[in-house]
Structure 1
């Protein structure tokens, strides 16, 4: 993997703690990297320990011989060697500013990826794309056509505002390639023996039809269970149905809500819940099931990996015709897509929901929850889709086989990772070809990330410079000066404080009367003026030196 560095923050690549879609995608990506068996991986990380975590992760995933080269966050200019930085989120705008500050716009490419786009933080990132120093050799991977539409809407709205406000006419934007998330298909393959054992362990009778839902069990942030419960209950008079929900609840009140609603809406359906964070439970769930379903109705969903995992397991799927599901499930081939309905753009209620979220009246969870209440999944169509699969084992087998083949041919990580690498090569070629045509940009810092001594330059009485003079404070010797480095309120900052040798050199140079700073620079020639300036400021703060402005 010599054509990209990975922006590595361990929590983005491990299935620990609170697991969301982006963690699952990150962990699967790392497995794809390991499966590619690269000789070397570039790791762009804040600390060496994170690069070591990257190396350990690759070893655990089967690539012990892959070398990991650490590029510290503080040295982004070294990303020019791999030629591209891939980060597992959409935040490439921030790295574009760092590139402009520390390198050149054509020094390397940037590549990010979308996950949920419903939060304020992500919307802000996406809306800022037109004003960040991004280029046509950068890219933001969109995992579905729907999410790309959302990104384009945010970008176009911001551009329209900037044109009206400033008269701007030229905008450099990243590419928005469409590449889905992938699955490791071999993990989901099953056998008749595995199926028999799984059904035995779960207490499934031979004549029961098992319908599986996997993922977070959240009526407000994933998929409201109401249409699923109603559709299955309508079929429970003609078949013995088990609803196997393999996932997890955020807290007890949500668990009780699911159980209460299931008892009220599908009393004839036998419900089983298993912890989907346990991989053995997940393997059993896929092996024991006959049909997969996910009737997502939530705007926080942008792609939806679980139907592809179910397809890889050979299950026919019944999903809502919603966002990324529309790109992954072929209606009538791999399963059925159930129509959805919501309000048109521009309604007052939509504006009200946006305002309440913007003003902090509603938090993110409630914003998603309220919106999902106004997304309808066709209950009758879901009922009919379930019925066709419940009563027809042959159709289940046919659709399951079609989905399994599609998962291998289109969504296998071996295929997706090659698409990534192909994209990265294309961006490198575009960078080489187009850089000379791009408008020149002056290296600069992002204004809202300013040097604090520039932004707050008017705060102090004086700045270190030719007009400032220093002398040794009376009664302070070297031992007393060095002891100030060890104070409890000071020692935390040792990484930016003067070294003992420099303190000794300064005290020696300042044994006489007041000395102007420019003279002090000549008296300690082996140290840069900037390092001397930092040292005399801190030594003055610590009461080791006195300072005043020359008349």
Structure 2
């Protein structure tokens, strides 16, 4: 199929047909971000020619129809395919919308012909690690960019690139410099479309049997123990807040379950915690249901603890609806919510290296699948449930503070996360990259293009380039939590029957998978006994009391106990 390039003052954009995107079984951040980015890109450039970087003619037809639906002129839509990617130079850049830049960089004839601009999503899969590690040996330039949606995303990328550099150096290969740009630009939303509506609020509450005087605490998103937020901490925090409140609390979880066992586990936790508050679980991917829930709720809660996520759109959408938010001090949430302004951030603690080495080895060896890897990693992250409960209690008992924080959230979304503000950052990025490209001397000889290929196909490392060493996960994700467990931290059991509760958790759906990376019952009980014998024992003291081969598994055990609210971890007195 011949390309139909047109001169374009804005970057070309890689486009996948909507039918392909819609075929994905779950609404996930990648799908939403890609679809909404294209809409915002078209709306931000009215009257401008648009070039799609596409695979086939069906993609072009869908893209033209999509542009027309957004009010654009389909006649101004051109396209370039991998067979003729040199034509991308007319646009000056191509927005790839994912991290897969290495193959495209090798296929580019003239490194100064155009910029490649990628975008991070999840950075917890071996595929993403390997793709980014290959940047080190790829002909990427400072006028190329991988846009990071948060500071922790950039930290992960830099850690992977440092490890790849070290792997190359060990075999005598000097890695090229400089690296591609790594700017931080958040994901965007249509804030106005999520504004709270009193009529929608009343209707939603009536449909779900929610009392007029109830304070609704809402979580929406993927309903998953491993890929978003383990629900146990949220249920416990709501329970502790409800215990101290005179107003009724109603906890609503809205979203999608990936599997029946996950559904069963969530409903099981809801049944266990019934009594002090009501719980409603709404299974719906529908955008109207999401908008209605945001209007009907009073507080948004998301105690995310998964390395799967790097940004997190849901709290931003909640702020757009005027809800105060209670979130973990974790990953991109740290960039989006200011503690005490739009809501509260709850401290998190993660096990230090080498606690994740076993899970990494199993994952890279295909002994465990991706979901299990994320689940095991999540079991080594604990949320401060008492702080979360205090935040919920504060907001539930103070309507004026809810309104104040909600208004601050609306203003923050308008200033930073609304699509016009976000697209302004993208425009400044590609303008700056064009300036770098125009001013730069030739730093590499032009390379012959790679054979035409599907732009989405994976690529192997080039000949002579060793596979990168993937950093131990606790080192790779070290900036996600508030802090790592420290040898001076003090340990206190919160339940005298902790051993029995651990065994109960072993048979519980929401925790069962954690035990694959925990020691057997006897060694777990040994850890519990040592802490019980010496309340306030330091992590270092506990480790020294255990045989050397058992210390790493003991680190994993400590975080599991804290996650299950059987252990508190505190800093020593100053």
The structure with more radius of gyration: 1
2: distance between equivalents of 1:220 and 1:440?
46
80, 83, 89: which is aligned to 1:80?
89
1:280 to 288, 295, 299: 288
Partner of 1:6: 13
Deviation at 1:251, TM superposition (A): 1.6
1:27 is displaced (CA, Å) by 1.5
CA–CA separation in structure 2 for the residues paired with 1:55 and 1:210: 43
1:345-370 per-residue CA deviation (whole Å, 9 max, x = no partner) reads x31x3111110111111110000001
Distance 1:445 1:66, change over 3 A: closer
The structure 2 residue matched to 1:293, chosen from 301, 304, 314, is 301
Structure 1 CA distance for aligned equivalents of residues 75 and 400 of structure 2:
46
Aligned residue in 1 for 2:448: 443
For residue 194 of structure 1, report the CA deviation from its aligned partner: 2.8
Give 1:404's match in structure 2, choosing from 372, 389, 410: 410
Instruction: Give 1:47 deviation, angstroms.
Output: 0.5
Whether the aligned pair in 1 keeps the contact of 2:65 and 2:74 (CA below 8 Å) is: no
Separation (CA, whole Å) in 2 of partners of 1:38 and 1:424: 19
Contact 1:3 1:425 in 2 (8 A): no
The one of 342, 354, 365 equivalent to 1:359 is: 365
Does the CA contact (< 8 Å) of 2:107 and 2:448 recur in 1?
no
- Structure-2 residue corresponding to 1:477: none
1:209-246 CA distances to partner (integer Å, 9 max, x unpaired)?
Answer: 11111111001211100110001011223231111111
Contact in 1 for aligned 2:322/2:409 (Cα 8 Å)? yes
Distance change >3 Å, CA 376–CA 240, structure 1 → 2: same
For residue 140 of structure 1, the aligned residue among 125, 137, 146 is 146
Deviation at 1:108, TM superposition (A): 0.7
Counterpart residue number, 1:261: 269
- Match of 1:29, SS state, is helix
- Structure 1 residues 423-469: Cα deviation after superposition (integer angstroms, max 9, x where no partner): 111111100101x24132443548999xxxxx9xxxxxxxxxxxxxx
Give me the whole-angstrom Cα distance separating, in 2, the residues matched to 1:43 and 1:70. Answer: 5
- Cα contact 1:215–1:306 (8 A) shared by 2: yes
62, 69, 72: which one aligns with 2:71? 62
- Describe the SS at the equivalent of 2:293: helix
* Local SS of the residue matching 2:356: helix
Provide the rounded CA distance (Å) in 2 between the counterparts of 1:137 and 1:199: 51
> Structure 1 runs of 4+ off > 6 angstroms?
446-449
Q: Give the drift of 1:11.
A: 5.3
Q: 1:38 to 1:326 in 2, by over 3 A?
A: farther
Q: Which runs of 5+ in 2 are unaligned?
A: 1-7, 458-462, 464-574
Partner of 2:487: none
**1:361-380 superposed matches below 5 A:** 361-380=367-386
Task: Specify the SS of the correspondent of 2:304.
Answer: coil
Contact 1:41 1:67 survives alignment (8 Å): yes
> Separation in 2 of the partners of 1:161 and 1:246?
44
Any idea what the Cα deviations from partners look like across 1:284-330, whole Å, max 9, x if unmatched?
10110000011100000110010000000000000000000000000
Describe the shift of the 1:400–1:16 C-alpha distance in structure 2 as closer, same or farther (beyond 3 A). Answer: farther
Q: For the structure 1 residues 150 and 226, does the alpha-carbon distance in structure 2 shift closer, same or farther, using more than 3 Å as the test?
A: same
1:214 maps to 2:220:
yes
TM-score (norm: length of structure 1): 0.78
TM-score by length of 2: 0.75
How far, CA to CA, are the matches of 1:299 and 1:267 in structure 2? 32
> 1:340: which partner in 2?
348
Q: Deviations over 1:503-550 (max 9, x none)?
A: xxxxxxxxxxxxxxxxxxxxxxxxxxxxxxxxxxxxxxxxxxxxxxxx
Is the aligned partner of 1:320 residue 2:367?
no
Question: What's the counterpart of residue 103 of structure 2?
Answer: 94
Distance in 1 of aligned mates of 2:452 and 2:37: 34
Distance between the aligned counterparts of 1:32 and 1:41, measured in 2?
A: 13
CA positional deviation for 1:65:
5.7
Asked whether the 8 Å contact 2:18–2:62 carries over to 1, the reply is: no
- Aligned-pair RMSD on alpha carbons? 2.1
For residues 414 and 12 of structure 1, the distance between their equivalents in structure 2, rounded to whole angstroms, comes to: 27
